[in-house]
């Protein structure tokens, strides 16, 4: 078990290195400089640009900058933000992280709870109207893009009904983004759970349990649900990853001051340190998330030995 964890953690190093390298060179390939924003978008005078570049070491050759960046990273120094000089990259990320994390977490919990229960109910009541309605909702929820759903929800609940504020303020503002983000994952999980439960019900060991006279609830809980969850755990890795990156778009729709918003902002402002920082952070998060999922998989399915 420990070896597995260490193996995966070591694996993270080349991944982060690749992501960082690709991002570094791509972002420097983008036209425009970080200083265009400073002077209100007008063309900056060459002397001013040169002095800014010198101050931040941008006048050095690209490869040198690349090496300097990684040397600093190894010292855990991710640099200062260009757009917001008073803050370091880490500070800006940490400022936005709680919002993104909350939305992601709520979305994930909702996706699991709603998806699994809907899937189980639909499967147990197969071919009844409950099943068809759930399937319908699941398919619709799965195919609507999250930002479309977000816009719809925003229009209905914030603009027309006024139940939640339009701009981001207070705890109520977490509801819509979480729902918009999590619903497609919930729908996916529901469909998957339903298919999985259906397959399990036909298995011989369930028939044995019924023949033994076990009360239905025990059968349901201990046998069916436990085995049905295995495929759900399997897809949890990519599902979590898509939720994490999905916050980027959702935060844009709902104006949430989170990490995704920061990422988009830093891209257009050419705030190189922040771009690098957020990208690395996202990747790190996704890798850790996948690791946790794989560990859970080992717990849920006793046939798998993670060593």
Partner 1 sequence: MAEAADQITALREVSAVRPRGLWVDAWRRLKRNKMAIAGAIYILIMALIAIFADVLAPHNPNAIDPTAAPNTPPFWVAGHNPQYLLGTDSLARDELSRLIYGARVSLIVGFVPVFIVTAIGVTVGMTSGWLGGRADNIIMRIVDVVYAFPALLFYIVVQSAFRDSKIGDIFGGLLLLFIAFAITDWVSMARLVRGEVLRLKNREFVEAAKALGVPTRRILIRHILPNSLAPIIVSIAFGVPSYILAESSLSYLGLGVKPQTPTWGSMVYDSFPQVTYAPEFVLMPSILIALIMLAFTFLGDGLRDALDPYMGK
CB 250 within 8 A of CB 240: no
Q: How is residue 10 written in tokens?
A: 């070591």
- Distance between CA 220 and CA 223 in Å, rounded? 6
- Would you say 21 or 51 has its CB closer to partner 1? 21
* Sign, Cα dihedral of 176, 177, 180, 183: negative
What is the nearest approach in angstroms of partner 1 to the Cβ of residue 148? 4
- Would you say 22 or 113 has its CB closer to partner 1? 22
Residues 274-303 that bind partner 1 (CB under 8 A): 275, 279, 282-283, 286-287, 290
Q: Which helix (H) or strand (E) holds 175?
A: helix 175-201
Contacting residue, 101, 233, 264, 295, with partner 1 by CB under 8 A: 264
Quickly count: other Cβ atoms within 10 Å of residue 72's Cβ: 13
What is the nearest approach in angstroms of partner 1 to the Cβ of residue 154? 8
Q: How is residue 262 written in tokens?
A: 């920061």
Q: Can residue 101 be called a binding residue for partner 1 (CB under 8 A)?
A: no
Residues 143-182 that bind partner 1 (CB under 8 A): 143-148, 151-152, 154-155, 159
Q: Can residue 142 be called a binding residue for partner 1 (CB under 8 A)?
A: yes
- Distance between CA 101 and CA 45 in Å, rounded? 41
Instruction: Name the segment binding partner 1 (CB under 8 A); options: 120-128, 209-217, 219-227, 244-252.
Output: 244-252
- Distance between CA 293 and CA 298 in Å, rounded? 9
Q: How is residue 213 written in tokens?
A: 């006279």
- Would you say 75 or 274 has its CB closer to partner 1? 274
- Distance between CA 148 and CA 250 in Å, rounded? 10
Q: How is residue 150 written in tokens?
A: 């977000």
Q: Can residue 139 be called a binding residue for partner 1 (CB under 8 A)?
A: yes
**Footprint of partner 1 (CB under 8 A):** 11, 14-15, 18-19, 22-23, 26-27, 29-31, 139-140, 142-148, 151-152, 154-155, 159, 241, 244-246, 248-249, 252, 263-264, 267-268, 275, 279, 282-283, 286-287, 290
């Amino acid at each position: 078990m420990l070896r597995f964890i260490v193996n995966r953690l070591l694996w993270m190093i080349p991944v982060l290195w690749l992501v960082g390298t690709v991002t570094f060179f791509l972002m420097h390939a983008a036209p425009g400089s970080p200083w265009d924003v400073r002077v209100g978008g007008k063309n900056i005078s060459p002397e001013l640009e040169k002095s800014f570049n010198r101050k931040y070491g941008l006048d050095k050759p690209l490869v040198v900058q690349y090496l300097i960046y990684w040397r600093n990273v190894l010292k855990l120094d991710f640099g200062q933000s260009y757009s917001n000089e008073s803050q370091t990259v880490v500070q800006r990320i940490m400022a936005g992280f709680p919002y993104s994390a909350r939305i992601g977490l709520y979305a994930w919990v909702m996706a699991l709870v709603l998806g699994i229960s809907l899937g189980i109910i639909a499967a147990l009541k197969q071919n009844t109207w409950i099943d068809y309605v759930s399937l319908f909702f699941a398919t619709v929820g799965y195919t609507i893009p999250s930002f479309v759903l977000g816009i719809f929800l925003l229009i209905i609940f914030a603009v027309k009904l006024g139940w939640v504020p339009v701009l981001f303020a207070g705890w109520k503002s977490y509801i819509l983004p979480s729902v918009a983000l999590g619903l497609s994952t919930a729908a996916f999980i529901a469909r998957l759970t339903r298919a999985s439960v259906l397959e399990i019900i036909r298995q011989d060991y369930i028939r044995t349990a019924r023949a033994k006279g076990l009360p239905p609830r025990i059968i349901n809980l201990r046998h069916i649900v436990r085995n049905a969850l295995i495929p759900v755990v399997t897809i949890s890795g990519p599902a979590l990853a898509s939720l994490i990156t999905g916050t980027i778009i959702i935060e844009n729709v709902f104006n949430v001051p989170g990490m995704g918003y920061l990422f988009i902002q830093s891209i257009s402002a050419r705030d190189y340190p922040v771009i690098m920082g957020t990208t690395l952070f996202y990747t790190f998060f996704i890798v850790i998330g996948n690791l946790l999922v794989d560990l859970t998989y080992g717990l849920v399915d006793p046939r798998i030995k993670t060593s």
